[in-house]
Amino acid sequence: MSRALPLLVVTALLYPVIAPAEEALPPTAHPDASDWTPLFADDLSNAKAPKDVWTFEDGILTASKDQNIWTAKEYDDFILDLEFKLDAGTNSGVFVYNTDLKKWIDYSIEVQILDDGHPSWANVPPTWKCGAFFGLKPPAKAAGKKPGEWNRMTITCRDQRINVLLNGQAVNQIDLSRWTSARKNPDGSDIPPWFKVPKADIPTRGRVGLQGKHGNVPIYFRNLKIRELK
Binning pLDDT at 50, 70 and 90, where does residue 14 land? very low
Domain count, the chain: 1
Query: Could you tell me if residue 201 is inside a domain?
Result: yes
Give the pLDDT of residue 126.
97
Query: Model-level pTM?
Result: 0.88
Summarised one tens digit per residue, pLDDT across range 86-145 is 999 999 999 999 999 999 999 999 999 999 999 999 899 999 999 999 999 999 999 999
Give the pLDDT of residue 28.
75
Query: Could you tell me if residue 26 is inside a domain?
Result: no
Query: Could you tell me if residue 7 is inside a domain?
Result: no
Question: Is 172 in a helix, a strand, or coil?
Answer: strand
Instruction: Tell me which residue range forms the domain holding 114.
Output: 36-228
Query: Could you tell me if residue 30 is inside a domain?
Result: no
Mean pLDDT of 180-186: 98
Query: Could you tell me if residue 71 is inside a domain?
Result: yes
Q: Is the pLDDT of residue 216 over 90?
A: yes
Q: Is the pLDDT of residue 27 over 50?
A: yes
Query: Could you tell me if residue 132 is inside a domain?
Result: yes
What b-and-e string marks burial along 176-202, b requiring 16 or more CB atoms within 10 Å of the CB? Answer: beebeebeebeeeeebeeebeebbeeb
CATH of the domain at 155: 2.60.120.560
Query: Could you tell me if residue 3 is inside a domain?
Result: no
Strand partners for 137: 133
Give the pLDDT of residue 19.
36
Q: Is the pLDDT of residue 52 over 90?
A: yes
